[in-house]
Amino acid sequence: MAKKTFLATGAATAAAAVIGGAATDVQSRWYRRLELPAWQPPGPVIGQVWTVLYASIAGATGLAWNRADRPQRRRLATALAVNLCLNAAWPWVFFRAHRPAAGAAVIGGLEASTVVLAREVARSDRKAALVLVPYLGWNAFALVLNATIAARNPAGRHAR
């Protein structure tokens, strides 16, 4: 069962990464015209961080799933699904819809759902929940970064 669990959490997490990645376009004319803060990490660093974070999400939820009882598994599955949906939605809102302020709202929801996910993971496996701490921190950083971009580009949707 453990192998199937990690395949399932890995597949779900990879699907969110692919769906979100399909909308990410740091080369678009719109994005290149935004006023970005100097402290924004370079694109390749962001991609590397997300690779590690996606692996940690899949691993932590897989570990927790294997230790959880049936009711806990339902809560864990729901928390993971909501989290991955918000994770995949952000690039579509920010990069494709050109709405930095709405993107900040999505990341705010993502951070809240990450807290819920970490709590659900911790109910089954406290050590696995610790693996999600960097994800919590990165989402908080992403929220501040996105909010800063939105504040610097109040016409974000129209800055084409």
Whether the pLDDT of residue 56 is over 80: the answer is: yes
Confidence of residue 155 (pLDDT cuts 50, 70, 90): confident
Q: Other CB atoms closer than 10 Å to residue 97's CB: what's the count?
A: 14
pLDDT at 53: 98
Structural domain of 35: 2-158
Of 119, 107, 131, the residue nearest 55 (C-alpha): 131
Which tens digit of pLDDT belongs to each residue from 104-144?
A: 999 999 999 999 999 999 999 999 999 999 999 999 999 99
Q: How far apart are CA 135 and CA 25, in angstroms?
A: 22
Please report, for the domain that includes residue 122, its CATH number: 1.20.1260.100
- The model's pTM is 0.93
Give how many domains the chain has, as a whole number: 1
In which element (H, E) is residue 20 found? helix 2-23
Q: What is the DSSP string of 60-90?
A: HHHHHHHH--HHHHHHHHHHHHHHHHHHHHH
Confidence of residue 159 (pLDDT cuts 50, 70, 90): low
